[in-house]
Each structure stands twice: as C-alpha cells, then as structure tokens.
Amino acid sequence: DEDDRTMGELFYCMIDELADITFHHSLQILVEAMFESVKEILQPTEEQMERFTKAFISRLPKYMQEALSPSLVA
C-alpha cells in the first residue's frame, strides 16, 4: 500500500526547490558577469567597486538580495 498523495507531495516539494536553485544560480551568474564586465571596461578602484556593489544590491528587491551569495554582498 502506497499513498499517492505522499509521492505527489514529494514531487512538488522537489520541483519547487529546483526552481529556487535555478533562480539563485542564474541570478549569481548574471551579477558576476556584470561585475566582471564593469571591472574590465571601467577599471574602477577597489573602493569604487565596493561602492558600486553596495549601491547595486541595495536597489534590488529583497528576495534577490537574499538570493545573492554573501561574497557578493560583503
């Protein structure tokens, strides 16, 4: 005897978690690519880059800020 509701519930939990992982990973890739492009083209000082990073992240919606890794936020 198997309860099909349990299998379905597990499926939906896994799909939801996978969507979160995909979003987090995609956001991380985009932000890192943007920062690397800024560094390459504009060649800012370390202080300017820190200011840019903080200003950029502060303008993002809260859920996006929380999705970024601590290494970018720091």
Cβ atoms of 14 and 21 closer than 8 Å: no
Q: Is the pTM value of this prediction over 0.85?
A: no
| Dihedral angle sign, alpha carbons of residues 22, 23, 24, 25 | positive
Distances (CA, A) of 27 to 8, 11, 24, 61, 64: 29, 24, 5, 12, 8
- At 8-30, the pLDDT tens digits run 777 777 777 777 678 888 888 89
State the Cα–Cα distance between residues 7 and 2, nearest whole angstrom.
Answer: 9
- At 48-71, the pLDDT tens digits run 999 999 999 999 999 899 888 665
For position 52, what pLDDT does the model report?
96
